[in-house]
Chain A
């Protein structure tokens, strides 16, 4: 694949620069904006243990004797019906540059329905016994009704939604009646144990930590905890994930197994992190590749909870986030569908390969504002 001349990367710090203007007329020089100091690594650079997406991929009716292996209900996943089984998938990447492979342990915890205040931290009290017992052997327990699953890597998880998740709720003063299921997950390049941490707010603190084989607690490079949620409405409204056909490089939709090639860009990572002043701009020094996603024009569903001033129902907002194990994007997030104006055609971003040859992976995670997500990925071989 040929790389093409690129526009200036000065745009990369655009909003940061604008924010600085709003706050301090571009004189304050905060981190990552305006000054010469190196800002943080961009979110798109995957160089630690990362979870890029948790997708409620589909939901199926509970198996019965008559239908022991039911087909997924079309249109469900981020939203579910009472009694359905929701299937979760994790996009897990270990971007650390390690000499020795370290297996990653992944834990799923389910079974928290309609917690106090409908907030995730309302589950802590309920999950307490589970947190305390996480050092046990849970192999083979990854069943929809076990509410706990321990596995290696990106092990999936199935959760059975209770039949009474909505009916057990009081009637709301206004708006639809619904229930929420919270699911916790964590990936650890070691062993997960209970910890006690500082946190005085209502959200408290996360009660688990990650430890290596010698008992040393590991930092965020090797431990990613998180949570997600599933909505269940009384009217059983559906909500499919945004459909994405694949990644488009330089205007061409590529097959997942197609090998892409690019040329290294000698601008180092350290130089790329700098902004302003006399920082080297890899987007003018090197060629770049246009990256986009292939999506249908009707990617966004109607959102019955969102209406304009005239009462017209709006569509979902859809956006795409890009990630890579190397190289740099000029823009990491792009809007795909606007709630009022619809699909946005001009949304491609540019990617400049890294300075080292090798095989790199690029992801595009497409999300909507109702919890839906889809992941597409591709490998790129970078040569001298």
Chain B
């Protein structure tokens, strides 16, 4: 039955208002009459900053009958002029939706009432705000509708009685009782909590209570849970009325934007965007690859190539704890399922002092706080994997979430390979898991125990050796895995201080074997970081913290020498070279102290200077990394214009293999990069904004490996240098009830030089042009269709056989010499990364259909990659004597069909 979802209207309004208003709505609005007393606002002490209007009377708009009949939904953003009495004097539509929605929104807007706005001195002034009306249709929702107006605070004393209530549709001030709602009263003195259920009329009565402070939690099926604090004073009893609101389903996987970012560029994606971007199978972390500044990785290989940096230059964190992987085998999905994500912070460069040890970018994934308003579950399956999740409350402020996923490629790919002749013992298998146990209270803060990990493995039986590699037969295996036990603690210490600390024990495994050869790396580690934030004033905030990694790595290997030894022809098959066997353990510690100031010297101006001091036991090296970023609001009202800039020094220590002999070279130092950025953000409409950033990464002290003169491995030096520079452009239509989409374009160039005086070359993953256009539109009745088109410059290669289509190619060139001592051909590269592969282009389409039921939802989707089956070259293959070449193409058309069931509140 069609309905207007009033609570969604309220939440939308809050999101569109200033952060101060958002804060004002935290907790459960209360009040006997449901109205905010004006005197209360007037009695408030002079504010340290301006106070925006707060709604006190809400009138629901009338759903246009024609739109309702057609099943059309919409959101209408209006601009309200509010006088000093809080009355709406004018309503202007900023984002028209047609179908009668605009008229309904204007009519309803004129009936709204607010507390008047105050300026910085506390003086009541007229104001202008934006307000969003959401018109949504539900199929199985009850006819009862909750009110969404906030209520004021009543005095409480002695006993607690009350009733949760909700409102009748269309009558904003009428309420209905909610029977069966759970009210949990937890004394703050540590004594046992009490739980009651409301009666048929929605009433509850705790009887007499000792004087003191209590945490109250109100939970009702179909509604968002609410937390608040009650103070019981001696000798007085009061009745209270708690209002709860219909669950909005509007949760977003995004940064909670209480303040502008510390960094120059911080990209966020809403959960709907993540779920619906075609070509990603709804995978959150894969969606990052569609953002500006991120190069296209080779076909289905899970790499993050950020602003001209290599994959090892970008670090991934889960709630502040570094993890070695972001994607499962082949990049098919990420190591944390979307349903467990709360946010993804992606910094393509110029990140703040809290992060270090890399010179590329940062991805910090936040795990979701488990839901406390009942039990929720999810099951999703497609051709690649199956995942499940369950979450909910336990007791006394404790909540939990457990999720797991396993691929079943082995079920169909294994037999396929066997049919093709491969003796498969284990086709690619990956799985991951997350278990969270969390406690929240206003007194003790937020505490979370987490246990999560990931495992990828593959084993093949190779009956015959590869041509040219006679010793490579037998089993071939690959394994990458990590586990983390994590403790996270957050707490506000009064009004001005806040601490956040996270520590984790970790175990990483990386290994492969191929016939008689193997390499296994096993790392036990402990990571901890903590940050203290102190707000000296609204204009001055200090962040200070530390960041420590310590670990013991054990490496076991049996590999052919990288360079042949005396008497061994250098061109013989890799597998027939003498083996080097090694087993070695090494401890390492890397620690850092950092501090940052967040300064707001004037409205709209935000300056963040910071420094970071790092120590690494690899080379016994200290590095000092000063950083600065700034945001300047050139226009602070809609349409806002913001200028942003940043400069910073970044150090990346050598890896274990680079720094520890005999694999590495003693004394090798950290890579260094200096990031420069300058950009502009511009609002175009309330739904559309645009941004442009220019960046330069100046690289020096880059670690370069050269063949050792004695033939034993590589010698690493810090002789490399280079730069990456470019521009990023993004025009984004933010998600509304029907559409989201963006156009992202990156122009970049990434150059390296192995040593001063040597020739510069473009790195292999240099992509001059990267264009991504995507969008998704809701068609109504649960249907949604989306499309993504990518147009990207080809990767750089150093060919051995030139392309006859390229001017200057000599098809008769001698590309290789027959090596008589080994029988192999020694290729003669043309050199200098002289060829770029053809342009990559691909169209992906995704179609979703969703059915909503009272307690659960079911959806089915089809995600088709490379719809027109373009043959995109990813590499060049050669024949045995390098007289012919052929492109190795990437993914052909690849459809993926999936189904999903959501139990409880929809999580979209």
Enumerate chain A interface residues (CB-CB to B < 8 A). 8, 10-19, 21-32, 34, 39-43, 51-55, 78-79, 88, 120, 172-176, 178, 183, 185, 197-201, 203-206, 208-209, 217-221, 223-229, 231, 233, 237, 239, 276, 303, 305-306, 308-309, 314, 317, 319-321, 330-335, 338-340, 365, 367, 369-371, 373
Residues of A within 8 A of B478 (CB): 22
Interchain Cβ contacts under 8 Å between A and B, 8 examples: A24-B300, A27-B892, A28-B299, A40-B886, A203-B829, A226-B817, A306-B578, A319-B471
Instruction: Contact check, B413 vs A26: say whether CB atoms are below 8 A apart.
Output: yes
Q: Given A15-B462, A17-B421: A228 and B819 within 8 A (CB)?
A: yes
Residues of A within 8 A of B867 (CB): none
Residues of B within 8 A of A55 (CB): 820
Residues of B within 8 A of A340 (CB): 516
Residues of B within 8 A of A78 (CB): 821
CA distance A55 to B877 in the complex (A): 29
Nearest Cβ in chain B — how far from A257, in angstroms?
26
Considering the complex, give the chain A residue whose CB is closest to the CB of B883. Answer: A220
Residues of A within 8 A of B458 (CB): 21-22
Instruction: Contact check, A14 vs B422: say whether CB atoms are below 8 A apart.
Output: yes
Instruction: Contact check, A17 vs B417: say whether CB atoms are below 8 A apart.
Output: yes
Q: Given A23-B301, A26-B417: A14 and B830 within 8 A (CB)?
A: no
Nearest Cβ in chain A — how far from B584, in angstroms?
12
Considering the complex, give the chain A residue whose CB is closest to the CB of B565. Answer: A305
Residues of A within 8 A of B889 (CB): 28-30
Instruction: Contact check, B579 vs A369: say whether CB atoms are below 8 A apart.
Output: no
Instruction: Contact check, A371 vs B569: say whether CB atoms are below 8 A apart.
Output: yes
Instruction: Contact check, B710 vs A174: say whether CB atoms are below 8 A apart.
Output: yes
Instruction: Contact check, B888 vs A31: say whether CB atoms are below 8 A apart.
Output: yes
Instruction: Contact check, A331 vs B422: say whether CB atoms are below 8 A apart.
Output: no
Instruction: Contact check, A201 vs B828: say whether CB atoms are below 8 A apart.
Output: yes
CB proximity to A under 8 Å, residues B825-857: 826, 828-832, 834
Instruction: Contact check, B813 vs A317: say whether CB atoms are below 8 A apart.
Output: no
Considering the complex, give the chain B residue whose CB is closest to the CB of A202. Answer: B831
Instruction: Contact check, A198 vs B420: say whether CB atoms are below 8 A apart.
Output: no
B468 at the binding interface (Cβ < 8 Å): yes
- The majority secondary structure among interface residues of chain B is loop
Residues of B within 8 A of A26 (CB): 413, 416-417, 420
Residues of B within 8 A of A225 (CB): 814, 817-818
Which of A22, A227, A319 meets B573, CB within 8 Å?
A319
**Mask of B439-481 contacts with A, CB within 8 angstroms, 1/0:** 0000000000000000000101011111111111100101000
CA distance A42 to B821 in the complex (A): 21
CA distance A27 to B427 in the complex (A): 14
Which of B428, B569, B820, B890 meets A185, CB within 8 Å?
B820
Residues of A within 8 A of B817 (CB): 120, 206, 225-227
Nearest Cβ in chain B — how far from A130, in angstroms?
16
New A-B pairs, 10, CB < 8 Å, besides A40-B880, A199-B828, A221-B883: A25-B409, A27-B891, A28-B891, A41-B879, A43-B467, A54-B820, A200-B830, A208-B814, A319-B471, A335-B465
Instruction: Contact check, B299 vs A227: say whether CB atoms are below 8 A apart.
Output: no
Q: Given A25-B330, A305-B565, A335-B470: A11 and B421 within 8 A (CB)?
A: yes
Size class of B's contact patch?
35 or more
Q: Given A25-B413, A28-B299, A28-B874: A14 and B828 within 8 A (CB)?
A: no
Considering the complex, give the chain A residue whose CB is closest to the CB of B833. Answer: A200
Which of B575, B577, B828, B880 meets A206, CB within 8 Å?
B828
Question: Which of B464, B478, B832 has its CB near the most chain A CB atoms (within 10 A)?
Answer: B464
Instruction: Contact check, A369 vs B572: say whether CB atoms are below 8 A apart.
Output: yes
Q: Given A43-B467, A200-B831, A333-B467: A32 and B877 within 8 A (CB)?
A: yes
The 7 closest A-B pairs by CB, nearest first: A54-B820, A228-B820, A226-B818, A200-B831, A10-B421, A319-B470, A306-B578
Considering the complex, give the chain B residue whose CB is closest to the CB of A196. Answer: B810
Instruction: Contact check, B884 vs A14: say whether CB atoms are below 8 A apart.
Output: no
B812 at the binding interface (Cβ < 8 Å): yes
B65 at the binding interface (Cβ < 8 Å): no
CB proximity to A under 8 Å, residues B403-429: 409, 413, 416-417, 419-422, 427-428
Nearest Cβ in chain B — how far from A49, in angstroms?
11
B808 at the binding interface (Cβ < 8 Å): yes
Residues of B within 8 A of A305 (CB): 565-568, 578
Instruction: Contact check, A14 vs B464: say whether CB atoms are below 8 A apart.
Output: yes
Q: Given A206-B817, A333-B467: A198 and B830 within 8 A (CB)?
A: yes
Residues of B within 8 A of A373 (CB): 821, 823
Q: Given A28-B891, A220-B883: A18 and B819 within 8 A (CB)?
A: no
Considering the complex, give the chain A residue whose CB is closest to the CB of B428. Answer: A25
CB proximity to A under 8 Å, residues B877-906: 877, 879-881, 883-884, 886-892, 894
B238 at the binding interface (Cβ < 8 Å): no
B537 at the binding interface (Cβ < 8 Å): no
B811 at the binding interface (Cβ < 8 Å): yes
CA distance A39 to B888 in the complex (A): 11
Nearest Cβ in chain A — how far from B897, in angstroms?
16
Residues of B within 8 A of A221 (CB): 883
Nearest Cβ in chain B — how far from A301, in angstroms?
11
Nearest Cβ in chain A — how far from B861, in angstroms?
20
Considering the complex, give the chain A residue whose CB is closest to the CB of B825. Answer: A226
Instruction: Contact check, B890 vs A28: say whether CB atoms are below 8 A apart.
Output: yes
Considering the complex, give the chain B residue whose CB is closest to the CB of A53. Answer: B823
Instruction: Contact check, B516 vs A338: say whether CB atoms are below 8 A apart.
Output: yes
Question: Which of A10, A24, A276 has its CB near the most chain B CB atoms (within 10 A)?
Answer: A24
Instruction: Contact check, B420 vs A276: say whether CB atoms are below 8 A apart.
Output: yes
Considering the complex, give the chain B residue whose CB is closest to the CB of A230. Answer: B821
CB proximity to A under 8 Å, residues B43-83: none
Nearest Cβ in chain A — how far from B803, in angstroms?
12
Nearest Cβ in chain A — how far from B457, in angstroms?
12
CA distance A21 to B466 in the complex (A): 15
B655 at the binding interface (Cβ < 8 Å): no
Which of A18, A23, A88, A319 meets B462, CB within 8 Å?
A18
Residues of A within 8 A of B460 (CB): 18, 21
Instruction: Contact check, A197 vs B464: say whether CB atoms are below 8 A apart.
Output: no
Residues of B within 8 A of A25 (CB): 300, 330, 332, 409, 413, 428
CA distance A340 to B516 in the complex (A): 10
**Mask of B557-586 contacts with A, CB within 8 angstroms, 1/0:** 010000001111100110111110101000
Nearest Cβ in chain A — how far from B706, in angstroms?
11
B303 at the binding interface (Cβ < 8 Å): no
Instruction: Contact check, A371 vs B710: say whether CB atoms are below 8 A apart.
Output: no
Nearest Cβ in chain B — how far from A36, in angstroms?
11
Which of A13, A223, A239 meets B420, CB within 8 Å?
A13
CA distance A367 to B476 in the complex (A): 25
Residues of B within 8 A of A53 (CB): 820, 823
Nearest Cβ in chain B — how far from A158, in angstroms?
15
Which of B710, B808, B823 meets A172, CB within 8 Å?
B710
Which of A17, A227, A303, A332 meets B422, CB within 8 Å?
A17
CA distance A65 to B470 in the complex (A): 47
Which of A88, A200, A220, A306 meets B579, CB within 8 Å?
A306
Residues of A within 8 A of B890 (CB): 24, 28
Residues of A within 8 A of B711 (CB): 175
Residues of A within 8 A of B818 (CB): 51, 54, 224-227
CA distance A364 to B510 in the complex (A): 40
CA distance A231 to B567 in the complex (A): 6
Q: Given A43-B880, A173-B710: A371 and B821 within 8 A (CB)?
A: yes
Instruction: Contact check, A30 vs B877: say whether CB atoms are below 8 A apart.
Output: yes
B657 at the binding interface (Cβ < 8 Å): no
Considering the complex, give the chain A residue whose CB is closest to the CB of B818. Answer: A226
Residues of B within 8 A of A369 (CB): 568-569, 572-573, 576-578
Question: Which of A24, A25, A308 has its CB near the most chain B CB atoms (within 10 A)?
Answer: A25
Question: Which of B409, B466, B818 has its CB near the most chain A CB atoms (within 10 A)?
Answer: B818
Which of B468, B566, B567, B832 meets A333, CB within 8 Å?
B468
Instruction: Contact check, A220 vs B881: say whether CB atoms are below 8 A apart.
Output: yes
B89 at the binding interface (Cβ < 8 Å): no
Residues of A within 8 A of B759 (CB): 200
Residues of B within 8 A of A320 (CB): 470
